[in-house]
Structure 1
Amino acid sequence: MQVVILAAGRGTRMGPLTETIPKPMLPVADRPLVAHVADAAVDAGAEELVLTVGYGGDQVREYFGERYAGVPVHYAEQSDQLGTADALRVAVDHVDGPFAVLNGDNLCRAADLDTLFDAVPAVGAYRVDDPSSYGVLRTENGVVTEVVEKPDNPETNTINAGAYAFPADVVDLLDVPRSERGERELTDVLDRVIERDTVSAVDFEEWMDVGHPWELLAANERRLPTPDRGRADGGTETTTTGGIRSHKLVDFGAPDGDVHPDATIRGDVVRESGVQVGPGVVIEGPVLLRSGCSIGPNAYVRGPTLVGPGARIGHAVEVKNSVVMADASIGHLSYVGDSIVGPRVNLGAGTNVANLRHDGEPVSVTVGDRRVSTGRRKFGTVLGPDVKTGIQTGIHPGVTLSAGVRTTPGEIVSRDR
């Protein structure tokens, strides 16, 4: 089975995080988001991958190369963002026979994809609490009869998971008209297939759309490696469980790093090579420490937390349930909770992130020109690449700082900048 993975979008809903990194390449545990999709596809039997690329395509090409996880990789360039059907259209030169299409920002299990690949034509189906923001599937006896986009009064909570298994001749159905938002939609192609063929609805046990910063947090919460999801007990073996592959994880006894004997490690804590852990540090898993990062002295890191390659968590810093991206520095005497800290961010001494509304309501974040609820009672900040804060900066819940923003010493930041 050939698998086309749509990975051309920038991901504007991710805000400043995608100002230098395309959304598919944002970190989820030990690899980019789109790599989780590719791994699940390969584990489900994909014999060839076709990646559509656009914004930040060079980063995708550099990561995957010409072969990934033992299978050939091809690339198709979508120069203009004209929709998912257009993204598939640019990839069809690499397709020969039945094929699958997956979104590069949707997490799912290899076992579910395995079932999907065997059911051509088919679409992945997933049940959610609130289906009004998705395409809702109408089915009869497991057969899809209609897709209703974002209905006000959904008849069912079963949504289109954005995963498809198509027969080869679907490439002749891709010339669909533009939608109201000016794009050629893959769901319109699916409508044509439903009219012509019997399309199965394949129930997915796990699925997640990672489109907003708080969903990136949730994705890391799910995918941080633990003893049953990768090596936490030493060695460099590559293991796969349930579509999750962990690469070259080493334990705290590894000779290529330095862990002070006064450090306290509890729970599922995994580190890569070259990690430095200082005296007085307390780490409570699940936590993943990427290569070359340093913790402490006297720091407190609580999971689920990802500390990226080369990042520095300094003296008396507390980090809780956060993603700290590559080469970021939280130098000393600071608190960061439930937040996304972009690459090369530098937080001045005493920078504190507030992550809780005391009225009990979920924290909201500005996405585009509107406020959107995160659905989380605790959510801190989203800091874009190269943000730098002055000492004693305070940041309110839900505040977003764009790439390169600076704050002054003692400043209280209550609005996006």
Structure 2
Amino acid sequence: MQAVVLSAGTGTRMRPLTDTIPKPMLPVAGRPICGHVARDAVAAGADELVFVVGYEAQTVRDYFGGEYEGVPVSYVEQEQRRGTADALRVARAELDGDFAVLNGDNLYDADSLRRLFQSGPAVGATRVAEPSNYGVLDVEDGVVTGIVEKPEHPPSSLVNAGAYVFPEEAVDWLDVAESDRGEFEITDVLARVIRERAVTPVEFDHWLDVGRPWELLEANEWKLAEQETRIDGEVAEGATLAEGVVVEAGATVHSGVTIAGPARICAGAEVGPNAYLRGAVYVGPGATVGHAVEVKNSVVMADAAVPHLSYVGDSLLAPDVNLGAGTKVANLRHDDADVELTVKGERVSTGRRKFGAVFGPGAKTGINTSVNAGVTFSAGATSTPGETVLRDR
């Protein structure tokens, strides 16, 4: 079974976190998102991985190389990103026999992927409360009879989860018509497969589309909770670490640190002294969480720094962010309503009562800065000492 991992997109809804990193390569519990996809695909039975790359393609190539999880890896480049069916067309020459297609920015559980691979032709599915926002599957007697994109009156609550097993003949069905939004859609390929073959819906036990910043928090909450305790780095005697904490080789945890977990401290990262980490916390390679800093349920990416006397809750820090001493990030509204965030120029609900801020690559705050819940700092944005930041910067 070949598994094609679609990893070419720019991730505009995830900006500014994707200004320098392709969305499928954003970190989740020690691997990029698409690293979890690839690992679980291999665990489910894939014996070859084909990555469709585009935006920041070399980042993907450098991480996966020519072999991953014991199986060969190849790459094709989608120079003009014109949709998911177009991505498959680019990969057509690499395909031989039945093949799986997985979104590189989705998370799946390996057991469900295994059932998908064994059920082909098949489509991964999940049940949602508001199916009108998705491609909805129409199912009769255990067979998919159709798919309708974002219908006003959905035929079911079962929606397309962006995972497919297509028959070998499908390589000849990739030349679909351009959609109304100017792209070539894999759902049109699926519609052809549904007409030609009996397609099985495989309902996933656990699935997540990691499309917006708060979903990257959710992804880390999921995957950090699954990891087993492992201490390979240097941990001082005066530190207290709970179950579910991983300290990678080359990481340092100083005296007085409490890590309630689950958490992952990556190679080259430094925590403490006297820091407090609680909730699902990811501290990336070379990152710093310093003296008397509290970090709660957050993602601190590579080489970011929160050096002194700060509070960061339910937030995302891109690489090379630096928060000045005394920076405080609010993560709760006084009216207890869900925090809103700007996505593609519009304020939308995160669906989370607690959500802090998003700091783009290289953003910096002056000392004693206060940042309101739901604020985004663009790449390189700054604040001045003592400033209160209430709007996107």
Q: Same fold (TM over 0.5)?
A: yes
Partner of 2:311: 335
Equivalent position SS for 2:184 = coil
Q: Distance in 2 between matches of 1:383 and 1:147?
A: 38
Partner of 2:272: 296
Letter in structure 1 aligned against 2:261: G
Q: Distance in 2 between matches of 1:39 and 1:365?
A: 31
Partner of 2:24: 24
**Shift in Å, 1:295:** 1.0
Contact 1:225 1:288 (C-alpha < 8 Å) held by counterparts: no
**Counterparts of 1:147-296 in structure 2 under 5 Å?**
147-224=147-224, 226=226, 229-230=227-228, 232=229, 250-251=230-231, 254=232, 257-296=233-272
**Shift in Å, 1:132:** 1.9
Deviations 1:291-313 (Å, cap 9, x if unpaired)?
11111111111121101111111
**Shift in Å, 1:258:** 3.0
Is 2:372 the partner of 1:396? yes
Partner of 1:39: 39
Partner of 1:376: 352
**Shift in Å, 1:225:** 5.7
Letter in structure 1 aligned against 2:85: A
Q: Distance in 2 between matches of 1:139 and 1:96?
A: 29
Deviations 1:198-221 (Å, cap 9, x if unpaired)?
111111111110001100000000
Is 2:282 the partner of 1:306? yes
Letter in structure 2 aligned against 1:406: T
Partner of 1:81: 81
Q: Distance in 1 between matches of 2:100 and 2:245?
A: 36
Partner of 2:381: 405
**Shift in Å, 1:152:** 2.4
Equivalent position SS for 2:273 = coil
Contact 2:225 2:280 (C-alpha < 8 Å) held by counterparts: no
Q: Distance in 1 between matches of 2:257 and 2:114?
A: 43
Q: Distance in 2 between matches of 1:369 and 1:181?
A: 19
Deviations 1:281-338 (Å, cap 9, x if unpaired)?
1110111111111111111111211011111111111000000001111011110000
Equivalent position SS for 1:111 = helix
Q: Distance in 2 between matches of 1:11 and 1:362?
A: 23
Contact 1:225 1:270 (C-alpha < 8 Å) held by counterparts: no
Equivalent position SS for 1:365 = strand
Number of residue-to-residue matches in the alignment = 393
Q: Distance in 2 between matches of 1:118 and 1:267?
A: 35
Partner of 2:336: 360
Q: Distance in 2 between matches of 1:151 and 1:371?
A: 24
Contact 1:29 1:225 (C-alpha < 8 Å) held by counterparts: no
Equivalent position SS for 1:36 = helix
Letter in structure 2 aligned against 1:345: V
TM-score by length of 2: 0.98
Contact 1:299 1:316 (C-alpha < 8 Å) held by counterparts: yes
Letter in structure 1 aligned against 2:375: V
The equivalent position to 2:362 in structure 1, one of 359, 379, 386, is 386
Letter in structure 2 aligned against 1:208: L
Gaps of 5+ in 1: 233-249
Is 2:81 the partner of 1:105? no
The equivalent position to 1:318 in structure 2, one of 294, 297, 321, is 294
Q: Distance in 2 between matches of 1:265 and 1:295?
A: 12
Deviations 1:35-54 (Å, cap 9, x if unpaired)?
00001110011011110000
Is 2:347 the partner of 1:347? no
Contact 2:224 2:244 (C-alpha < 8 Å) held by counterparts: no
Partner of 1:91: 91
Equivalent position SS for 1:18 = coil
Q: Distance in 2 between matches of 1:262 and 1:73?
A: 44
Instruction: Supply the RMSD in Å over aligned alpha carbons.
Output: 1.1
Gaps of 5+ in 2: none
Partner of 1:118: 118
**Shift in Å, 1:267:** 3.0
Q: Which moved more, 1:97-106 or 1:363-372?
A: 363-372
